[in-house]
Structure 1
Amino acid sequence: MDALVLFLQLLVLLLTLPLHLLALLGCWQPICKTYFPYFMAMLTARSYKKMESVKRELFSQIKDLKGTSGNVALLELGCGTGANFQFYPAGCKVTCVDPNPNFEKFLTKSMAENRHLQYERFIVAYGENMKQLADSSMDVVVCTLVLCSVQSPRKVLQEVQRVLRPGGLLFFWEHVAEPQGSRAFLWQRVLEPTWKHIGDGCHLTRETWKDIERAQFSEVQLEWQPPPFRWLPVGPHIIGKAVK
């Protein structure tokens, strides 16, 4: 099986050779950082109807929280285009973190469309090192379709633990690997080296639920959902929350 995967990976590499050459020369990353926000904006528009009810139910739990100042201090990690803003209850004080500064203009548009929220700031940073944020400063952290593309999910979750107050909540929605041994998992392995360039570092075969379960949260609740797009190689999604 490994030999077959390697053969198919090489075949895909040959078919996408210009992309890999650009990446090898260091020319692809600036291009990807520029186009990727537009790609995500397109996917957001297409997935809205598919995921609206799930997101609304998940984030409705935020309204039951009481922050130290009466409002809920919410950190959106890997905020992207701000697609989650419409689902947050009124009174949330939102801080946004994303390593790609090109998302800011999309984020500004989403902010203008969601006046029920209070916006704190947009921080250009990686999730593995959010030194701009103080310990125990957040009531909620939201992480949707982010842990697939970070360098170290373990370090990101450590940072989430650090910035969350005791009893604070992490809400997550992440795509994960298909079942090992399945045909779908085989194709994820084949396509992953190329997909990482297309998807700005996105990994198809991560077992992210294991990282969350190992992160020493006091409680983890998650459910599995089928992928919203069958024409993409991303696998099933895990949706839920974890309590510090």
Structure 2
Amino acid sequence: MCIVFIYNGVNDVESEYSLILISNRDEHFNRPAQCMSPWIDDCTVYGGRGRIVSDYVRSEMGMTDYVECIHDYSMQCNEFVFLSVEIGNLTPKIKTYSNATDEVNQWTDTYLGFSNSLPNRPLKKVEAGKKYLKDICSRLNKTKDKSQLIDELIYLLKNNERHLPDNQLESRQPNLYKELSSIFVHIPKGKYGTRAHTIMLLSKSGHIDLIEISMRSPIDDENPYWERSEFQIDLL
């Protein structure tokens, strides 16, 4: 049950950031995974290998056109939410597509959050995380405070407070809704939970800081070792 939070600061005159995106990747601990790095066959791409995402980032299509191309395939998949952030002239264009509703939506809110629910029906932990993010970004919106900003964003992603009651989550996951109600998920008996944190900071000057903190495989779920990878990219 992955989770993503976004700060869209392009219209915030007090902020030196156009975009802050943070996420947790939740999955089974025994699933093979690699730390974030540039792809060997395409050094401009960083991250995962899922078909929908990998085909999209290697294409030159916008999100709406791409969704039309994969429509038949997406209708055969389990329910998912596809999140796209297109950065043109450092102005983020944030869109989601859900194959459950077959709809593309564009979002202009300053603070956004998405998880395993329809985008317009956020889980309680998503709402809570947006409030945490707002508090952080309203205080630490200058690049000189980047180190503290990153520390507080990591602390948010590691937050294990349970956000209950959540009737939507309970109806969908009646046996695990308590464990899944926190931003940071840890279910030792199922060998499942949050195994990677990702942070992307895009400044209004065009500089990107890309950070991933992930569990090293093979994972000792009682005493995991977290690896940190960092990349610097300039768009201008």
Q: TM-score, normalised by structure 2?
A: 0.28
Q: Which has the larger radius of gyration?
A: 1
Greater helix percent: which structure? Answer: 1
TM-score, with normalisation over the residues of structure 1?
0.28
User: Quick check: which one's strand share is greater?
Assistant: 2
Higher relative contact order at CA 8 Å, sep ≥6: structure 1 or structure 2?
A: 2
